[in-house]
């Protein structure tokens, strides 16, 4: 440890220094004179973290959503969908990232795949469960009206399943944006760089990184809760509000 334990009164001081790190570029005491911190670097790293999260979520959605919808529609593969969801939670994030980096290689593409692996299980399981929970009467009515399988899935099952699917998407996003914090270990510089490379950014940078990551994750969660509200069919909103 470089910094000794500080008395409680110095607490605000340390957080104050961290905010200073975020808003003003610092002369890097540990980086050999390279300037560190400041809004430009913070936004740059935050953008990379969002990009990585977005790419991984897009890949995970592209894989998990169609499979979950189809399995749910057919009413098959319950064991598979639930087993994937349950064992997915047991995957240790750090081990996945470290293994990807060590065995396959560093870089944006590998990291996107690793994060997508973590994101698939909650989306797949929730999509499956959501479609199974859709009122069979509504599905049969749609079929009676002559809708094709694709029409039933796209215009009846998917809209009615949105709240549960979105709760899976939010779980995945929370997990992915959190795990993207350790992306610098695999060669992609996100806000986690401030946290992990303390020898470059110092204690202020570490704390500043933690603050930025927390704000980013909370903002993303808030954004997705708004998206969920907008995607939920009008008729379901009252029900959803009651359930929440």
Tell me the window of 74-82, 88-96, 123-131, 134-142 that interacts with another protein (CB under 8 A): 88-96
- The nearest distance, CB 2 to another protein, in angstroms, is 8
Nearer to another protein, 53 or 232 (CB): 53
Instruction: Rule CB under 8 A: say whether 207 interacts with another protein.
Output: yes
Would you tell me how many other CB atoms lie within 10 Å of the CB of residue 36?
22
Instruction: Rule CB under 8 A: say whether 90 interacts with another protein.
Output: yes
Instruction: Rule CB under 8 A: say whether 192 interacts with another protein.
Output: yes
Nearer to another protein, 24 or 199 (CB): 199
- Are 188 and 48 in contact by the 8 Å Cβ rule? The answer is yes
Instruction: Rule CB under 8 A: say whether 198 interacts with another protein.
Output: yes
Within residues 7-66, the interface with another protein by CB under 8 A covers 8, 11, 14-15
Q: Residue 53 and residue 145: Cα distance in Å, rounded? A: 41
Q: Which residues contact 29 (CB under 8 A, 6 or more apart)?
A: 202
Question: Could you give the count of Cα atoms lying within 13 Å of 39 in the half-sphere of its Cβ?
Answer: 1
CA distances from 84 to 77, 106, 132, 148, 224 (A): 11, 26, 17, 29, 24
Instruction: Give the closest residue to 83 by CA, choosing from 71, 97, 95, 73.
Output: 71
Nearer to another protein, 21 or 158 (CB): 21
The residues that touch another protein, with contacts defined as CB under 8 A, are 1, 5-6, 8, 11, 14-15, 86, 89-96, 98-99, 101-103, 174, 177-179, 181-182, 184-185, 192, 195-199, 206-207, 209-211, 213-214, 217-218, 221, 244
């Amino acid at each position: 440890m470089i910094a000794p334990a500080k008395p409680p009164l110095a607490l605000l001081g340390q957080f104050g220094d961290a905010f200073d790190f975020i808003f003003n570029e610092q002369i890097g005491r540990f980086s050999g004179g390279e300037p560190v911190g400041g809004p430009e670097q913070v936004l740059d790293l935050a953008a990379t973290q969002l990009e990585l999260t977005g790419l991984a979520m897009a890949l995970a959605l592209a894989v998990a959503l169609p499979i979950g919808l189809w399995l749910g529609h057919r009413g098959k593969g319950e064991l598979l969908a639930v087993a994937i969801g349950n064992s997915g939670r047991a995957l240790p994030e750090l081990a996945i990232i470290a293994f990807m980096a060590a065995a396959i290689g560093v870089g944006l593409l590998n990291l996107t795949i690793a994060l997508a692996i973590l994101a698939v299980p909650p989306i797949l399981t929730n999509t499956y469960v959501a479609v199974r929970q859709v009122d069979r009467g509504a599905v049969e009515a749609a079929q009676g009206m002559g809708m094709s399988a694709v029409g039933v899935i796209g215009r009846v099952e998917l809209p009615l399943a949105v709240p549960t699917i979105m709760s899976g998407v939010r779980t995945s996003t929370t997990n992915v944006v959190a795990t993207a914090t350790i992306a610098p270990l695999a060669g992609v510089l996100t806000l986690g760089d401030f946290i992990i490379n303390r020898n470059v950014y110092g204690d202020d940078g570490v704390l500043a990184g933690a603050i930025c990551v927390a704000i980013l994750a909370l903002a993303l969660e808030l954004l997705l809760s708004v998206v969920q509200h907008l995607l939920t069919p009008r008729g379901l909103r009252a029900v959803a509000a009651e359930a929440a």
